[in-house]
């Protein structure tokens, strides 16, 4: 029964890679029992053999020769990130029939189809739990546990940086800029925070979630994206006053005519399970026709949590290799159309600075009605010394196109001095 050890090549020795190597070595007996064969780290591919590392790695494992490492491995773990050379390495492995575990969301969102096809052609497995929400097993959940259900919606908080920033704005009343500065100081945001705060990281994850939930190919270019840079302290304050919090959500929805895939800040009611997800945590809510509402919650980033997700994939890939059989394939049989952003059904909360005069509310209301959008609620503030007041109004769900037409019309209207904010709402 003694199985030959499986040779694992780890590409990249950063925070996640070094945790993967540490855990494989510290818990080798457990991994052997779970996978059905010992797992041996045969090589660790790095760019610079002498770079300083958080966790020391045995010198004889390190190599800069990715090709040899991949060619001699039974299993490749790709933790380099970015598109190239990660794409080439992953394709090389898959084309040889060597299974790959990756945490690379950018690669999957940009080149998923090419990778899935290479895996299918050679019979290799491609696993990517760590690419979506760190330790949270949502890829597994969607691919396997909900395989017996029809999913109507996926709502996720999948970016820790923006969740930290919005959380700091909410709990400490900070401006966006001050909250970002704190996030950068503490290492939650990078010096160039664009990928996080503009929603691009969340968009890559959203594309992966939508592909899994709807058995349809969705790439990052299919995702309508809006980041959090326009969110103000007043928006957060106004949200609190109305029993809501602002979260950056990745949303994938199934409609009658296709699927809508988008990332944007949204007002979430305080009693919604996503409202209390704060700081570094991620959570994904899935609505299934039969299952009802499910939520997966946990740490979305960090070396050890992400390593945990990578290692569960390693065990699955190794176990398939030892015991035979097929891993779950990317199933895209549904081929649902991805709707244009303007066809998504949304609802807005708008804050408008208007003249404080008789008839202004009627003007605004008739202007909105003319776009075919109806108003759900409206509240008017006390007038300020400048003779203006603030109207806060929420619209009933309508297409994003109609809602944007409303917002443009309001911007052009003489009755409206300024559209202070326009934030979409999650209707629980």
Residue 419 CA to residue 413 CA, distance in Å, equals 10
Which one among 95, 186, 241, 323 touches a second copy, defined by CB under 8 A? 323
Binding segment for a second copy among 24-32, 257-265, 370-378, 380-388 (CB under 8 A)? 24-32
Known binding residue 284? Answer is no
Q: Is 86 annotated as a binding residue?
A: no
276 binds a second copy (CB under 8 A): yes
Q: How far apart are CA 313 and CA 366, in angstroms?
A: 56
CB 154 within 8 A of CB 285: yes
Build a one-symbol-per-residue string for 188-217: x at contacts with a second copy by CB under 8 A, - elsewhere: ---------------------------x--
Which of 205, 247, 321, 335 is an active site residue? Answer: 205
What does the alpha-carbon distance between residue 225 and residue 219 come to, in Å, rounded to a whole number?
13
148 annotated to bind ligand: no
17 among annotated binding-site residues: yes
Q: Cα–Cα distance between 283 and 132 in angstroms, integer? A: 11
In a 13 Å sphere around the CA of 81, the CA atoms on its Cβ side amount to 9
C-alpha distances in Å from residue 190, one per residue of 2, 182, 250, 300: 47, 11, 21, 16
Does position 290 interact with a second copy (CB under 8 A)? The reply is yes
**Among this protein's residues, is 205 annotated catalytic?**
yes
* Region binding a second copy by CB under 8 A among candidate stretches 197-205, 254-262, 311-319, 343-351: 311-319
- Residues 121, 103: Cα–Cα separation, whole Å: 22
User: Hey, which residues does 353 pair with through a beta bridge?
Assistant: 390, 418
Burial 166-196 (b: 16+ CB within 10 A, else e): bbbbbeeebebeebbebbbeeebbeeebebb
Any binding-site annotation on 190?
yes
Least distance from a second copy to the Cβ atom of residue 270, Å: 10
Q: Which residues pair with 424 in a beta bridge?
A: 266, 348
Binding site for NADPH, by residue number, is 105
Rule CB under 8 A: which residues touch a second copy? 19, 23, 27, 30-31, 33-34, 129, 135-137, 140-141, 144-150, 215, 273, 276, 288-299, 302, 304-305, 307-316, 319-320, 323-326, 328, 331, 333-334
Binding site for L-homoserine, by residue number, is 190
Binding site, by residue number, is 11-18, 105, 190
Catalytic positions are 205
């Amino acid at each position: 029964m003694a199985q030959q050890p499986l040779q694992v090549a780890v590409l990249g020795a950063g925070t996640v890679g070094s945790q993967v190597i540490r855990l494989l070595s510290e818990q080798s007996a457990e991994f052997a029992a779970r996978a059905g064969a010992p797992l041996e780290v045969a090589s660790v591919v790095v760019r610079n053999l002498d770079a300083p590392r958080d966790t020391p790695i045995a010198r004889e494992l390190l190599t800069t020769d990715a090709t040899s490492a991949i060619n001699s491995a039974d299993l490749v773990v790709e933790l380099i990130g970015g598109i190239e050379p990660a794409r080439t390495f992953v394709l090389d492995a898959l084309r040889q029939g060597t299974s790959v575990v990756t945490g690379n969301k950018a690669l999957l969102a940009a080149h998923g189809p090419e990778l899935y096809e290479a895996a299918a052609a050679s019979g290799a497995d491609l696993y990517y739990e760590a690419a979506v929400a760190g330790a949270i097993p949502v890829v597994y959940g969607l691919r396997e546990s909900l395989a017996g259900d029809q999913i109507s919606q996926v709502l996720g908080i999948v970016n820790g940086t923006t969740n930290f920033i919005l959380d700091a704005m909410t709990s400490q009343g900070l401006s966006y800029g001050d909250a970002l500065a704190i996030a950068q100081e503490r290492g939650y945001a990078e010096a160039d925070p664009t990928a996080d705060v503009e929603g691009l990281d969340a968009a890559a994850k959203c594309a992966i979630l939508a592909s899994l939930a709807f058995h349809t190919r969705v790439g990052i270019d299919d995702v309508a994206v809006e980041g959090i840079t326009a969110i103000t302290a007043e928006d957060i304050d106004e949200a609190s006053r109305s029993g809501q919090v602002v979260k950056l959500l990745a949303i994938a929805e199934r409609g009658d005519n296709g699927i809508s895939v988008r990332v944007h800040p949204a007002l979430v009611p305080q009693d919604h399970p996503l409202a209390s997800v704060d700081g570094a945590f991620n959570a994904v809510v899935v609505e299934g026709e039969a299952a009802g509402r499910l939520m997966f919650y946990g740490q979305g980033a960090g070396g050890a949590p992400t390593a945990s997700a990578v290692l569960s994939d390693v065990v699955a890939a190794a176990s398939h290799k030892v015991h035979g059989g097929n891993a779950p394939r990317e199933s895209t049989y549904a081929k649902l159309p991805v709707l244009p952003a303007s066809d998504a059904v949304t609802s807005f909360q708008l804050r408008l600075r208007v003249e404080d005069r008789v008839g202004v509310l009627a003007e605004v209301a008739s202007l909105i009605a003319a776009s075919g959008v109806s108003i759900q609620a409206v509240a008017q503030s006390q007038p300020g010394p400048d003779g203006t007041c603030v109207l806060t109004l929420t619209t009933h769900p309508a297409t994003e196109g109609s809602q944007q037409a409303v917002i443009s019309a309001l911007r052009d209207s003489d009755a409206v001095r300024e559209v202070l904010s326009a934030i979409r709402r999650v209707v629980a």
